[in-house]
Amino acid sequence: MRLFDTVSLKYFCAVCKEENIAHAAAKQATVPSAVSKRISAMEQTIGTPLLQRGSRGVKPTPAGMVLWRYANEILELMAQMDKELSTFADDVRGKVRVCGPFSPVMELLSKDIGNFMRQYPHVQVEIIEKVTTEIVTSVETGDADIGVCWEAADLDKLQCRPYRHDDLELLVPRSHPLASRDVVTAGDIVDYDVVDIFPGSLVSNRLGQEASKLGKIYNCRVQVSSIENACRIVADQLGITVIPRGVLPSYEGLVTIPVGDAWAHRLFMICAKDFAKLALPTRLLVDSLSASVAHAEQDHQATEA
């Protein structure tokens, strides 16, 4: 059986990623000769070259590609094992990084996380608010352990579990032609100048798609990076905007109308790269969030009955 120590595997993976032994050594806080020596020893053990060396750097050979793939899996599993075993030394400990949306859902998420933290006082949770596309990227790249985002995002690379719902509504001045409506659709909204909140957000993308379907032009007059700024622009009668229900700041002369399209009733998902590979504190948080949703739905059904 060929056995390689974790340091050698780590050095080899770094070289494959950087395609340069000197750069990999710098990233691993060691010298190039130490990295070369370990890789040469691995090649002797296997009996075949692992790297194709050239004047511009190195690349893994076919055998190197196989080792690189398994080495990454081994190192990831060992890191996971270390995290989980460390929790048995005392109580459940660790840090969980959560990305959440700019939505009233965040209030429920914060409350649910607060309940979890009271149950596990030695777990630290970092919560960062981002737009949906940024949440997905953060989870995919490992900058966040889990995310909570609108299911309309591209979640193909992530595993997901249902979390909470929210609804979108249109914000207009009281004197606006749509202000007297009981409900509006995307077709109504795109007839007017729109204030985009968070450029490139899924809401603005969806309005653009709906306008295209109807043969209309989506006219984004102003782009802002906060709901507060969007409300200020609407109050100045420079456009209308779509916001989540329940987040309207204190502004006189503004009214909200429900958006009746099906896409405006949003389902938010808990997402991760792989729920089974999450560290123990993160898995416990996911389970706690899922349980809180189940309890809320049971209470709602009991109230309706």
User: Tens of pLDDT along the chain (305 residues)?
Assistant: 466 888 899 999 999 999 999 999 998 888 999 899 999 999 999 899 999 988 888 999 999 999 999 999 988 888 877 776 665 545 777 899 999 988 778 888 999 999 999 988 889 999 999 888 899 999 999 999 999 999 988 999 999 999 998 899 999 999 999 999 999 999 999 999 999 987 778 888 889 998 999 999 888 888 888 888 888 899 999 999 999 887 776 778 899 999 999 999 999 999 999 998 898 899 999 999 988 876 555 444 444 44
The partner residues of 168 in beta bridges, in order of sequence, read 244
Give the pLDDT confidence score for residue 221 in this predicted structure. Answer: 82
158 Cβ partners below 8 Å, 6+ apart? 136, 139, 140, 147, 271, 272, 273
Place of tokens 């995002």: 153
| Apex 217 CA angle, 212 and 223, nearest 5 | 110
Give the pLDDT confidence score for residue 225 in this predicted structure. Answer: 81
Give the pLDDT confidence score for residue 87 in this predicted structure. Answer: 59
Length of the chain: 305
The C-alpha atoms of residue 207 and residue 210 are separated, in whole angstroms, by 5
pTM: 0.63
Give the pLDDT confidence score for residue 62 in this predicted structure. Answer: 94
Q: Which domains does the chain possess?
A: 6-88 (1.10.10.10), 91-164+266-304 (3.40.190.10), 167-265 (3.40.190.10)
Give the pLDDT confidence score for residue 56 in this predicted structure. Answer: 83
Place of tokens 């965040």: 106
Give the pLDDT confidence score for residue 305 in this predicted structure. Answer: 45
